Structure 1
């Protein structure tokens, strides 16, 4: 800026109806205080008054740095005595509060959350909802900070924050240079330096609208400078559809002295920018027109960010609405914010809007609501970020369908999103398979009972008759070799009769129906120990009593299968069986002291229920599942533990 331009800039120095022009006037006024108010207290007091009058703030306070702490200075501007008193007593430790953070970071800061401010009651009584803190550095050290209070909850525009920060920097410069330089020119020099350092573009013009000065930021943002402003060649940079509109806006400001906001695009060197210009008058102390100011900001990055966000939202909306599975966006308490078409169809509704606004509890089976609430609470508390659950949903027609939900907390948001898959057909198929499997097991038991009865009533009787005939022949006079053959035959017949009886009892122990499970297990364990040379300890609780026949058959088969596995695979010479009640459950445990199951095989056994883990184990699991029971297989020390749990009402 030339010396003449600096003088004219000093003349263009009074607030107008436009915020940016008023703040430029405030900056010039503060720069002039270097002569009038060199002492810190007076300078801070006058600066607060100027900034509050020119900016969007209703009160201001100056903090000073004492032993690295920020303390109230007694310098206050505003109409609230309670707030003035609270500010005089306030103190912030290094880095604490908005003021401490701003001073520590050496940058202007804004906050709309004043809940933790020690002056909270006074701020609320004064209607204060937000605050700007501008640190003041003197000689490279933090010396003070300006607090500017507002009743608005929204942050001021970036250019306003930038100018507030420049005001603080200007105050620091005034304090540093006031005693060394006490000439009127100091204010103009500081004002010129300040404008040249602003991140927004600034144009100063005389009362006829002739451009007098543009700062470096304007040249970088607009793509042209003072020369182009004067000779009119700026039109070559501004895109054609915006040229006349921009010129008309400037003429209107000159003719009416009313502020105007204008947006236009410039292209230079193949780079296109979107620029916003805020045009306004600058008036003298008596209200007379002294000139015009334009504050220019580059909106290109903001517009690009908004466009990228819009495209991202469009993609999300398309994916959300057209997904083949149900998608739900809900509050943490379960209130549905948004649902897609697939979710609405899953619940039997015609449109997603019929589902939005309802709570998830309303569309869940009553028995599944408590579990769903528990999982949501864990999600909200942060103990988990994701969970999966299979549950029943209530359709519009009152019927229930099965769905599998994968629920995830949306990052940095109170919302949760759920992916809901329709698994009703799979559940019905599983029920059908389970019913078919149950029928197969019943037929299997019935067939075993029939075979056992046939062996007892037919084969066993035939062998018995054969034994009687051979016994009659034993009393006859036979040659020695014939008598020896007869003796061998009698022994074979006796062994055959014993094996038929054992096989018949194993297929269907008659003691199960006659004496119950405990007697049948004692008989079986005794025979197993004789056949296998495995010592078995049997512990049956005294209060076990009789159980339903289907349950007793299931537990007997599990003992059979478990002991067979001990004999074939464990290499154990002993085993133990424990049968007891635990509340409403019957608990059966079979444990050996053998070599155990390898870790990878044990994991496969735990996680798979198909025949890939063995027909015997799959059969035990299937029998228990038919009666609502569970099978657990775990490593013991040493050996393996098989535990079956099943409910019994008697």
Structure 2
């Protein structure tokens, strides 16, 4: 920026040549011209009045002079205002002053006034122009010389009071004084103008500097701020306001403390302000600040603001958003910490090896794997830990990575434990390079696979044993994939089907199976993917000896993902067993037919027996009982006809009649039991209740319990169940000497269950009594029903009779 020169002229040739001093003088002369005019007109009016008092002849010249001077001054003001330069204005004013002096001299000449007053008026003109216009001695000299020349020409027409030498001396002194005053005022004005111009220049420069600073601050991408020593913010630029997400007005006036957040990495604000107040320079400091977008980071460089006296009055600084950098640094620290934690706490060995092959760092797991302390391994070559046979492959892989080949590699290698035994490890190594692409070190992970290697050795040995066992086994053993293609067959399989291993492997075994068995066999194999992952099937296949039955047991072989990859099947020739089973099945079928014939025979016998019981019951009731009653009636008739009778004879006849009646009643009960008519009306439940009530006595407690609703059954079923219950109760009452008999009848799941339990003396079920007629009858009735009958008893333990048979419901009438 070019410094401002108050005397520098404009380079625009179309514009008037002027300087700051000239412009200031022009403004001064124009500003003071009205004052000069008013003062001069007042002076002229005063002298006109003085002259009019002395001589009435002066009224008209005085008025004309005053008017002429007023018009002159008005014209001068107009012309001077249009003049663009101070020289032009000065020339107009000089001419005006000469004209004023000339007009005043003319007035005094006409009035015949004294030379002294005229000189006083002219000196007043000189002094007023010198003082008010500050135009210097040169302009003053022009006015003085021109005016005095006119005054000197008018002296002969004036009167003089003082001597000419004294008058000339006075005029000369006044002239010199006016010249001095004009020059002094001009110099003082010029000095003041220069001071003012310098001040204005400083203000302009300050304003330009402030504007430039503000423009720089407002347009800067960095954050610019100022504040006082108490931490109150006095200025922030737009970039900083935008960073905080609020207007500038919401920040100015608040304190730095309102925005700074305490974080571990954040600098201490109070310490920073105290250091600035003490005049200590501070470096770049990071601060965590609260913004509308959350916690962010700035890096600030602050310095002190000095007052006019050099004292520190505030703080200013520049800051920059370093959130991404701080987050990256924190992420890097966290990553390094995670790496260190992972490195130290990893369950597998981790080793850092330099490009020279020396161990730089190891973790705890690797120390435990090798049996060495960390200090024993650091700085040593990797050869110390590597099995001699695996050193060359390791060097070859590492050298390839250093030459620019694969930057990572995997290798199963052997390590030497401190105690001397071999440790198998799965090495995964990667070459780490710096930002310039230069190799720095290898980071290696070593997983202890010793157990896996031992297991693989054991597996190989097991496979050899398995293959030897399978090959020498007499059963058929085969493996096939999910497409049913054979992948393995043993010698027994080849011998059975009459084909070589080469003819079988890679081909489907399905054509060997008889067509009617293929669908069922495929369905069984499709279910092998669900627990228990096995299937069994007897299949007829074509062999070298013809059709043979083979019992196959298959199971799935799965990979580590649980997917079926193969199926292994073991087969055994069961043709002879199948023939024996077919013969046994035929025998069982014949047995079932025999049992059915026996059941039908028993049912027929039971039906015949029941019909015979019914017929006997009818005969007893209708014939025998009636005949016995007839005998009793004949005896009564005989006793009435033969009278008188001896007392003993009458008593005997009464006893005969009584015995006959008792016999008839017993026969009626027997007839009723032989054909239980209540079954038709009361059903099985009501009939059993009636039977139990009839069997109960003072010596034997008889109870009955029904479980579930007892439906009406077919007549044959109800009769058979009733007869078995009747026989069991009769046996318990007659032979067991039971104190309590319990009858239970249950209907569940379409079957009827009858249980008669007593606490009597019991008997040997396997003895002769088990073949008694009552037991045989009950068994026959159970067989006729297609049910099961059993008797459980032992001497002294009571007896349990149990019947279970189908509950055949009675057809609707």
Larger Rg: 2
**Structure whose residues are more often helix by fraction:** 2
Greater RCO structure (CA 8 Å; 6+ sep): 1
TM-score (norm 1): 0.40
